[in-house]
Structure 1
């Protein structure tokens, strides 16, 4: 069985304004519980990250 990879970017800093890590955009609970999550739970977190990440204009 393949394990869903962590979105961690090794920049761990929780933004106090929204509660998301500035590196991977997970919540502190999601970061702490990642290793205990099932693959389905990990995929659910991944699906939320794009919405959480601020969009940049080029």
Structure 2
């Protein structure tokens, strides 16, 4: 599966390939389509998650 996100200017949408993991262990490859506002929101949220992980990693190392 291609892993690069793409942006379609005409559709004003971003597309990100993802793998969905089911509780039974199965997987499905699909595409997550996002509006520009959703991309901005998830960018902020992922930045916060990355910072939280880094902080937890530092705390665990002490």
TM-score greater than 0.5 by the shorter chain: no
Place the TM-score, normalised by the shorter chain, in its bin: 0.3 to 0.5
TM-score (norm 2): 0.33
TM-score (norm 1): 0.35
User: Rg larger in 1 or in 2?
Assistant: 2
Greater RCO (Cα-Cα under 8 Å, separation 6 or more): 1
